[in-house]
Structure 1
């Protein structure tokens, strides 16, 4: 969610000493004018209204507290920012479960040159797994997007069509893929259906992605998290994954028209006209590269990520509601995002591939991991 100054727009309240308002602008003052603007569909109008509400005592504070439930992350962050230093008991009670973080979002052109860097904010919560291990879950706002890749996009294939509109309800998704520290903590929890090796990975490091795990083991991981927390943790659907990766973008990568080795961990080669980079040819610690506009890290490269869906050869008949597309529990499961040994074209937002649920297909077990999702219910 973008956090940056906004210019006055249509329907803004205009106060004395400013430029003349548009003919159809709402010229209202006082708390009633603030209330009217807080009901405006324009995010920028609601943000401006919140900043005015702080001047109206308890009535204004109540309006700002109410805005913590706004559908817009930018509005919620503005409300949080206005309230976070206040000492009233009612404010502290409402803020107890709200956390936000700021981050820079980078966009590049086809030459890999940075053309913009903007400050964004996202809401998240922290799941305490014990022994100093924490799982950070980022709120992904609901919305509608076009899933798939246009046929003129470099590297696109017939499995990425037809383009189709998908409506995705809000949900939480892991800020990072599951790390070896996360895995070890959850593997120590009581077994639900199957055993989990607490140390399965080839490359060792607590902040490295867990790998050498199967789809079924990822499901067991989620089941144990559910038993511990009461929250319905799961693998993201393929639609949720692509929606979260794109984060409102329509370019091949959420970074823009290409990626470079400074933006993601992939294996070799160039995608557009960017210079050749340097490639680690191994997994890197999570968060080593910049995030996308939703605040998710490493959505391109590093490790492939299991989704909940069974593999289908194309999108004919795919769900339009963001749910997982599951057939007869086939052995082939969708993986997304690309890995550390792969060409950048296979790390595109729309690129699809599959792995056997046992994660032994074509020796990819060293490069496949997963991140978790859960419903967007208010966290208590």
Structure 2
């Protein structure tokens, strides 16, 4: 095929103001060249241009601030990473406008379920307007590496939670809460919940959860999906290695669950034997609520009987069976079932059994 002589090739130097810029091209023209690359449809080109903009003083800084409004989440966070350590007063206002944060307390407990620490944390999120006054808050989950599964020393471990293995999870966004009836209704047009409360999580089949993600994609253009099983456990643990992100145990002061296993405290009455409003209990260090108890949450994976041969990159595991993975336990679960590493394998067409939260890649 004959090359178009009017288009830059991969390693060509191009003048600022050219509309088509190859990813590896050297761009000339100072600020005009940076502006040109920021107009590119290629996310990697935009991010490279932001780093170059720092060379051009206030004019370059202004371009980086504008990038906080970019339609790409990845570009917005690249701009944020370049600006976050600067102390100009107007930057904090820009962050809250385009990359808002929320603050919360992170609690840990001792083996008897008594609070032994409380620290103030914050997390970034972006709001997604679902219509009808409903907003989906998507919390930034930083990438990292963790040990997935239960250790051999855990007396409550099950065979399908082993072998414990290292997994590296890229950064992504996850919904702050399980999807609620108020969030479901504008997109799906029905109410699948057996409780008529807008802030209670919906309980649907795996296929229905996936259809919700598909409709979100159609409405927003972002590739919404269910969390993979690895992403779910990583997000639930939020940097912890204990059975629960609170510590070695949970109580009904912290989690909506049914009753205790031997060795787990059980000191207050049941929560009406039904799901509670999302956000009724303290979050983990990533700012995610109700990762233990309240409702089970569907993951994208087809289940593996154990972790032999499971992915180590945070992606979904695939087999040929019709069973999916659910995580987190629910309001009727024993405490031991609500552990970060507990796995429930369920037929994907089972209705009214699982809630879910949604994810989107940080590179979208």
Are the counterparts in 1 of residues 264 and 335 from structure 2 also a CA contact under 8 Å? Answer: no
- Which of residues 226, 245, 258 in structure 1 aligns to 2:217? 226
In structure 1, the partner of 2:191 is: 199
TM-score by length of 1: 0.73
In structure 2, the partner of 1:103 is: 104
> Structure 1: 5+ residue runs without aligned partners?
1-56, 189-197
In structure 1, the partner of 2:335 is: 344
Cα distance, 1:288–1:317 mapped onto 2, change above 3 Å: same
Are the counterparts in 1 of residues 260 and 336 from structure 2 also a CA contact under 8 Å? Answer: no
In structure 1, the partner of 2:344 is: 353
Q: CA deviation at 1:58?
A: 5.8
Q: CA deviation at 1:278?
A: 1.6
For the aligned residue pairs, the C-alpha RMSD in angstroms reads 3.0
Are the counterparts in 1 of residues 250 and 264 from structure 2 also a CA contact under 8 Å? Answer: no
In structure 1, the partner of 2:307 is: 315
Are the counterparts in 2 of residues 235 and 371 from structure 1 also a CA contact under 8 Å? Answer: yes
Q: CA deviation at 1:94?
A: 6.9
In structure 2, the partner of 1:150 is: 151
- Aligned residue pairs: how many? 301
In structure 2, the partner of 1:301 is: 293
In structure 2, the partner of 1:240 is: 231
Are the counterparts in 1 of residues 192 and 202 from structure 2 also a CA contact under 8 Å? Answer: yes
TM-score by length of 2: 0.76
In structure 1, the partner of 2:316 is: 324
Q: 1:260-299 residue pairs with structure 2 within 5 A?
A: 260-270=251-261, 272-280=263-271, 281-299=273-291
Q: CA deviation at 1:152?
A: 1.7
> Structure 2: 5+ residue runs without aligned partners?
1-56, 69-73
Q: Does residue 1:370 correspond to 2:356, yes or no?
A: yes
Q: CA deviation at 1:271?
A: 5.5
1:10-34 superposed Cα distances (whole Å, 9 cap, x missing partner): xxxxxxxxxxxxxxxxxxxxxxxxx
Cα distance, 1:310–1:96 mapped onto 2, change above 3 Å: same
Cα distance, 1:98–1:72 mapped onto 2, change above 3 Å: closer
Looking at structure 1, the residues matched to 257 and 358 of structure 2 have their Cα atoms a distance apart, in angstroms, of: 22
Looking at structure 1, the residues matched to 95 and 109 of structure 2 have their Cα atoms a distance apart, in angstroms, of: 39
In structure 2, the partner of 1:86 is: 90
Looking at structure 2, the residues matched to 265 and 286 of structure 1 have their Cα atoms a distance apart, in angstroms, of: 10
In structure 2, the partner of 1:121 is: 122
Are the counterparts in 1 of residues 138 and 175 from structure 2 also a CA contact under 8 Å? Answer: yes
Cα distance, 1:255–1:94 mapped onto 2, change above 3 Å: closer
Q: CA deviation at 1:86?
A: 2.0
Are the counterparts in 2 of residues 246 and 253 from structure 1 also a CA contact under 8 Å? Answer: yes
Are the counterparts in 1 of residues 246 and 284 from structure 2 also a CA contact under 8 Å? Answer: yes
Looking at structure 1, the residues matched to 223 and 77 of structure 2 have their Cα atoms a distance apart, in angstroms, of: 24
Are the counterparts in 2 of residues 144 and 166 from structure 1 also a CA contact under 8 Å? Answer: yes
* SS of residue in 1 equivalent to 2:167: strand
Are the counterparts in 2 of residues 232 and 374 from structure 1 also a CA contact under 8 Å? Answer: yes
Are the counterparts in 2 of residues 77 and 100 from structure 1 also a CA contact under 8 Å? Answer: no
Cα distance, 1:203–1:78 mapped onto 2, change above 3 Å: farther
1:80-105 superposed Cα distances (whole Å, 9 cap, x missing partner): 8945x528xxx866764211111100
